[in-house]
Every structure is written in C-alpha cells, then in structure tokens.
Amino acid sequence: MTRVVVSGLGIVSPVGCNVDTFWRSLLAGSAAFAEASALPGRGLCVAEVRDSDFMAGLTVSASMCDRNALFAIAAARQALVAAGLGEGFPRPDRVGVILGNAAGGQCTVDEQYSRLHLLKKRPPPMTVPKVMVSSSASWVSMTTGAAGPSFVTSSACASANHAIGVAIQMLRAGAADIIIAGGTEAPLSAGTLLAWDAMKIMSRTACRPFAAGRNGLMLSEGAGIVVLETQEHARKRGVHASVEAAGFGFSADAGDLVSPDAGGMERAMALCLADAGLGPGDLAYVNAHGTGTRANDRTEVLALNHLFAGTPLPPLSSTKAVTGHSLGAAGAFEAVATVLAMQRSMAPPTANFDAIDPECDIDCIANVGRSMPIAVAMSNSFAFGGLNAALIFKSLR
Amino acid sequence: MSTEVSCITNDLLIALLRDVVAENRARNREAILQDVWSPLTTLEEIGFDSLDLVELVFMIEDRFSVDIGFNANTNINDVKTIDDLRRAIDNLLADSRAA
C-alpha cells in the first residue's frame, strides 16, 4: 500500500504563528484567553490570533477574503516552505488542497448583516465569495498554484480530521502526489459567540479538560496545515520525512445532535487502528478531543476504556486547554501538536489541570509535558451531530 | 411581555417542560405529552435530555427576563425528578439575585 508521510507543518494560532512558538506555548501551558473583542463587557473569554503575528508578507487583503481564509493562506505558506515546496510545484495538477472548515465566513456574515440591518446598506459584491465555506481551499489553491483535487470538508469540530483523513485516502488511491491538508476557522464574531453562549457550555474562567474543576470549553481561531505526500514522491524530492500519516477512521453516532456517544467514538478509533494495521496496545500517546465539557470528556474516556478492554490506556492529553477550541481547525491544531510531539519525543500536557475528574480514569499528562519516545500516536475529533474522525501518526525513525 | 419570577413552582415548571417537549415534537415525543406529569416524575421518564435542559433555561431567561447562572458542565444534569430540577433552578435563581 502507498505510504503517506508528513513533509511540512504550518500553524496560525492564538499561541503561536510558527511551529516553534506554538510548541513552546503547549509545553509551558501558556494560553492566551481574554475578553472577546467582538463582545466587550460580556465576560466571554476567547483566544484570538493577533493580526500582526500572521499578516506580514500576505499578498491578499482582508477586503478580498474572510479571516478564516487568511489564516489558511498563511499556515499553508509556512507548511510548504517547511516541506521544501516554497518555490512552487513541479506538477501543480498533482497537488491538492483539502481543508476542514465548520462555519464559513462568520466574521463576514456578522459584518454584512450589521450593515444591512443597522445601516440599511446592501452587502458589497465580494460578500458571497468571502462567505462560502469552501473559500479557504480556493484561496490556498490560488495563492500556491495547487491545481489538483481541492475542496473543503465540513463536519463541525471534526472537519479538519475528516480533511486529513480524506487526503490520506486520496493519496493512497493515486489521486494526487501532494495534498495541503488541515483546517481553518474564524468563528469569533459577536453572533457566533452569543449562539455558543446560549448552549451554556462555555467556561468563563479556564479550559480544564478531564479535570475535576472543569466548567466548559473556550473558543479560539486559527489554521493548521500538514503537507501530506506519498512517501515515494517525497523520496524522489530527497525528503526523508520522520512521521507517517498512517491511519484514519470515521464513524457517525446516528443518534443525537449534541450528546456524544461512546459507541460511535470507539468505532472511529477502532477503524483508525485497523486502517493503520495496529492494535490499541501500539498507541504510545493520544491527543484527545478533550473539549473541557463534562459530556465530551466523560464519553471520550468511556470510549477509550471500552476500546482498550481492561488494558491500561496510554498517556493522554488535551492541548485545547492552551489553544482553545478552534472548531473546524481543531483537528489540524492537534495534528500539528501530535506530529511535533513525535518529532521531539515529548508529549504535551493538559494545562490548567487541578485534579482528575473521578469519572475520568486516565493517565492524563497534567500541566508538565512528559519526555518519552512516541512511536505511534492517535488524535481524536468528535463533532456535534455525532460525526467522529480519528487519525494515527507513526514514527518512521 | 416579561413577568417577575421569584421562584419556580412545580406547576409552572411542568408547564414549561411541556412547552419544551412540544417545541421538539420532531423527536417523536407526542406520546410523552399525553401522560400526566407530577413533581415525582423522573426526567428520564419524559425523555428530557441535556439539550432540553438548556432550552428550558433559555426559555425561563427569556420569558421572565432573568439571568440564570447555569452551566451545563455542572452536576445539574444529574437531577432525577421534576421536583429535583425545580429546586436546582430555584437555587440558581437565588444565586443570580444575590450576585
């Protein structure tokens, strides 16, 4: 079977707009939560990306594309430079772009609805191309020259994992040699934040996945990119990647729109292991979905315990305590974190951890990263609507 | 028009719960509405889940112009009966008034 490798990483996040800063923040537990700039005075805390951290050098302006597409363009450029593809592609038609995005141009929607209803001004002509959910893939394609199979997957909080999983499958099937995969999201508009607040699951203090003191999730924004490539193509370019994108598993709960289901989660993880030709005992580390909500954390632990059927779980952490939950970009943030963990032999911690939730019987890496070799790691994303996607990465060292 | 609410009675809560369930008839819950509900009826018996609870809190906040300091990540989802839920919401209302 064709092997797929990770040949470059890119990140635009509230805690770093390059992989080294991002990694240092994960290890230090340095979150960047502050009151949402779109909703001053309401006590809603989110993690925002500073424009000055990622806009330098972009040739596209905010008048042309929504914030989520700007994030994707910047992260893709970083990842391609890291992959040795910053100068272009020998065969652009063999390079695809598959990105996850949950909500499309929410900042543009908010801005134009305000103009329409408050100022009675009609939306400008660029509104539709800015709002469309697929615009980030289009912009990455246009700015990099990638002319192969390109589209956006949308499955709420699992969007990026679905994008990366589909990319693995398409590379194995010979549909492309390289795919710029990942996810992007810019959901921190006033309307979107109030809609999330109405669900009463947002923390106003800190995100503490799997901890006794947890009280909800915190939203964020950004983009993560993994350049995926067939191992044969990478070798021909003289690139010897250290991590293989070795497996993906998808499932649907076919149950509830918001309540997670352990059975669906377990099936995605089991399918992912089977796809990689591995068993649960091979996993050295799990980057959990770990949103910091009671429903998600407990159900994910239940699913993992059932999958492992009485054998000890590997060490696990949720990096959302630092990055926040970036929805359609979350799986991409976590794929980048997981690949870095494998390359640097260090499992990042779950920050803000006070004490273990008694209902979560896990080896949670609390507050301090754990130095350890990581040969195989899994990264989970479980979305509202019961759409589940797990990824497995394998060290090639 | 909003109405002042200082505490939630079981009758009021049952009426509100019925409204929440009625608004979500698409979830095949017609039969539940035919039953008689009492303070000792369990939330499980009426198929009331965590999303319904959020809808209920939102409805109370809107109808009575109050802010209930409700967080779905607390153990409020563990309450068993309608009367348990009434007491939990009353406590949250009292906390909000004191804040």
Out of B49, B51, B73, name the one closest to residue A293 (CB): B73
Q: Which domain holds residue B72?
A: 10-98
Residue A20 is part of a domain; what is its CATH number?
A: 3.40.47.10
Q: Decide if A98 contacts A181 (C-beta within 8 A).
A: yes
Task: Specify if A243 maps to a domain.
Answer: no
With beta carbons under 8 A apart, name residues in chain A contacting B78. Answer: none
Per-residue pLDDT at B1: 41
Per-residue pLDDT at B75: 79
If one counts every other C-beta atom within 10 angstroms of the C-beta of residue B39, the result is: 15
Task: Specify if A273 maps to a domain.
Answer: yes
Task: Specify if B80 maps to a domain.
Answer: yes
With beta carbons under 8 A apart, name residues in chain B contacting A201. Answer: 71-73
pLDDT confidence band for B2 (50 / 70 / 90): very low
Give CA–CA dist A106/A118, Å, rounded: 18
Tell me the per-residue pLDDT of A167-212, one tens digit each, with 9 for 90 and over. 999 999 999 999 999 999 999 999 999 999 999 999 999 999 999 9
Task: Specify if B60 maps to a domain.
Answer: yes
Q: Which of A45, A294, A384 to mutate to test the interface with B (most CBs of B within 10 A)?
A: A294
Give CA–CA dist A203/B29, Å, rounded: 32
- Tell me which residues of chain A, numbers 169 to 198, contact chain B at a CB-CB cutoff of 8 Å: 198
Same domain for A215 and A255?
Answer: no
- Tell me which residues of chain A, numbers 264 to 293, contact chain B at a CB-CB cutoff of 8 Å: 292-293
Low-confidence ranges of chain A (pLDDT < 50): none
Q: Strand A150-153: give its sheet, edge to edge.
A: A150-153, A95-100, A178-185, A222-230, A4-12, A243-252, A387-395, A376-383, A285-287, A316-317
CA distances from A281 to A284, A377, B12, B13, B81 (A): 8, 11, 54, 50, 42
Q: B54 vs chain A: nearest CA distance in angstroms?
A: 6
Residue B88 is part of a domain; what is its CATH number?
A: 1.10.1200.10
Predicted ipTM > 0.90: no
- Tell me which residues of chain B, numbers 17 to 46, contact chain A at a CB-CB cutoff of 8 Å: none
Same domain for A201 and A278?
Answer: no
Same domain for A344 and A214?
Answer: no
Task: Specify if A244 maps to a domain.
Answer: no
CB-based contact B51 A256, cutoff 8 Å: yes
Q: Which of B52, B61, B70, B73 to mutate to test the interface with A (most CBs of A within 10 A)?
A: B73
Q: Which domain holds residue A310?
A: 249-395
Tell me the per-residue pLDDT of A23-60, one tens digit each, with 9 for 90 and over. 999 999 999 999 999 999 988 999 999 999 999 889 88
CB-based contact A203 B73, cutoff 8 Å: yes
Q: Give phi and psi for A391, each to the nearest 5.
A: -125, 150
Tell me the per-residue pLDDT of A63-96, one tens digit each, with 9 for 90 and over. 889 999 999 999 999 999 999 999 999 999 999 9
Q: How many domains does chain A have?
A: 2
Task: Specify if A242 maps to a domain.
Answer: no
- Tell me which residues of chain B, numbers 45 to 64, contact chain A at a CB-CB cutoff of 8 Å: 49-51, 54, 57-58
CB-based contact B72 A293, cutoff 8 Å: yes
CB-based contact B58 A198, cutoff 8 Å: yes
Is the minimum CB–CB distance between A200 and chain B shorter than 8 Å? yes
Q: Is the model's pLDDT at B21 over the cut of 90?
A: no
Per-residue pLDDT at B3: 52
Same domain for A264 and A164?
Answer: no
pLDDT confidence band for B35 (50 / 70 / 90): confident
The pLDDT > 90 percentage for chain A reads 94
Task: Specify if A241 maps to a domain.
Answer: no
Rg of the Cα trace of chain B? 13
- Catalytic residue list of A: 157, 289, 325
Both tokens of residue A80?
């391609």
